[in-house]
Chain A
Amino acid sequence: MSTIKDITTLEDWSQHLSSLPPTTLLVISFHAPWAAPCAQMATVLSTLASEYPVTEPLSTSWVAIDAEELSDVSETYNVTAVPFLVLVRDGKVLETVSGSSAVKVRDAIESHAKGASAGAAPTVNGNGATAAVDTKEFDTVEDPEKKKEELFKRLGDLVKAAPVMLFMKGTPSEPKCGFSRQLVAILRENAVKYGFFNILADDEVRQGLKEYADWPTYPQLWVDGELVGGLDIVKEELANDSDFLKSYSVKADVVAAS
C-alpha cells in the first residue's frame, strides 16, 4: 500500500520529480499547518493512498508539500488556497482539486489512476454521491455559525471518504480502546475494505462528529455515508445477517498484492 511522502526541500522535490517514470500518476497535496481542513484532507489522502499498491514500475506516487514553506513549488502550480490537490503525469498537470471535498478528490484520483498503463486500479468504487461545488478556500471564517456549517460540511465529506468508514480511537494497527480494537478485528475477520479516521488525532472531528451523527460514542462505523452504529450494533447486525457488509468485502474484488 502506498504512503504519502513529505517533501520539505526544493532539492528533494526536483529529485523526486526526476525519479518518476512517465507513466506514474503523481498526486501532490498542498497543505498549510494552520488550516484545519488540511488535517482532514491528509486523512482522506492517506486512506486513498493505502488502497494503491506499490508497483513496479510505480503506478502512483503521493507527496505532501507545505504550500508556504515551498512557495516556489506552489507558484509553479498556481496554488492559491489550501488544501489543494494537483495530479501530474509525465510532467503534465492532469487535474487540480481545490478545497476539502473528499468525494471530488477521490473521484479525480480514481479516474486518472485508471488511465495508467501499469499497476492495478483501486478496488473500491467511489459512491454515487454528487459532490457539491466547493468554493470555500481558506478557513479564515470567525463566525461560529459559519464555522459549524463548514465543519459539518467537512464531516459530510469525511464520512464518505470510503464506502465503509471507521471512526475509531487509534489506528487499525494500534487501536487505543477495547471497543475500537474489537471492531477492527470484526472488519478484518469479514475481510471488509474500509477507510479509517483516528479521532484521537483530531479533537474537532471527535466532538463535531458526535453532534453530526447524534451519536455519543466511538467507534462509529459508517457505510455509504450513513451511520450504522457502534460495536454493539455491528455485532447484532452480523448475528442477524451473516451477509452484512459482504458487498464491501475484499473477497468480492480482484485484489493486487501490496
Chain B
Amino acid sequence: MAESSITESSIKAALEERLKAIHVEVQDMSGGCGQAFTTLIVSLEFAGKNSLKRHRLVNAALKEEIAQIHAWTAKCQTPEEYQKEQAATGGNDGPSFEGTSGGKVDGVQQ
C-alpha cells in the first residue's frame, strides 16, 4: 500500500490550527503508512452542533488529508464533554479503537 505524507503530528497540528482544538489524540492504525487514523478531537467549535455538523467541520478542516487516506475515524467532543467522559472512564477517554486488532485496522497491508 502506498505511503502518504500524512502523519499523526501533521494531523494534530492541522486540527489545532484550523479547529482551535485544545486537545487532540491521533493514532495511525495502518502500521505507520499514514493510511488509517483514529482521532479524538476536543474543541469549543463543536459546541451547539450536532454530530453530523461536527464531523462536517472536521471534514472541511482536513479536506486534503482525508481525501488521501484510506480510513478515518473521529470522535468530536466539546471541552465539557471531554471532562465528563474523562471523569466517567477514569481518565480513559480516547480515540475509538473499535474494529481494530491491537490498534491496527484489519486488512491493511504493510
Interface residue ranges, A against B (CB under 8 Å): 177-179, 181-182, 214-217, 227-233, 235-237
Chain B residues within 8 Å of A179, by CB: 71, 73, 99
A229 touches B52 (CB 8 A): yes
Nearest CB of chain B from residue A68's CB, rounded to whole Å: 39
Give the docked Cα–Cα distance between A112 and B51 (Å). 40
Query: Inside 8 A of B96's CB, which chain A residues have their CB?
Result: 232, 235
> Is residue B106 within 8 Å, beta carbon to beta carbon, of the partner chain?
yes
Main DSSP-derived SS at the B contact region? mixed
Assign chain B's interface to a size class. Answer: 20 to 34
Residue of A182, A230, A232 near B75 (CB, 8 A) is A232
Q: CA A235 – CA B105 in complex, angstroms?
A: 18
Compute how far the CA of A214 lies from the CA of B67 in the bound complex, rounded to whole angstroms.
Answer: 12
6 contacting pairs across A/B (C-beta < 8 A): A177-B107, A178-B99, A182-B99, A215-B59, A228-B52, A233-B55
Judging by beta carbons under 8 Å apart, are B105 and A217 in contact?
no
C-beta contact mask, B43-65 vs A, less than 8 Å → 1, else 0? 00000000110011001000100
Decide if A217 touches B66 in the complex (CB within 8 Å). Answer: yes
Given the known inter-chain contacts A178-B105, A182-B99, please indicate yes or no for A216 contacting B59, CB distance below 8 A.
Answer: yes
User: Once bound together, how far apart are the Cα atoms of A178 and B100, in whole Å?
Assistant: 8
For residue A87, give the distance in angstroms from its CB to the closest CB of chain B: 38
Q: Are A182 and B98 in contact (CB under 8 A)?
A: yes
Question: In the complex, are the beta carbons of A232 and B59 less than 8 A apart?
Answer: no
Which residue, A181, A228, A231, A232, has most C-beta atoms of chain B within 10 A? Answer: A232
CB of B106 within 8 A of CB of A216, answer no
Question: What is the CA–CA distance of A211 and B107 in the complex, to the nearest angstrom?
Answer: 27
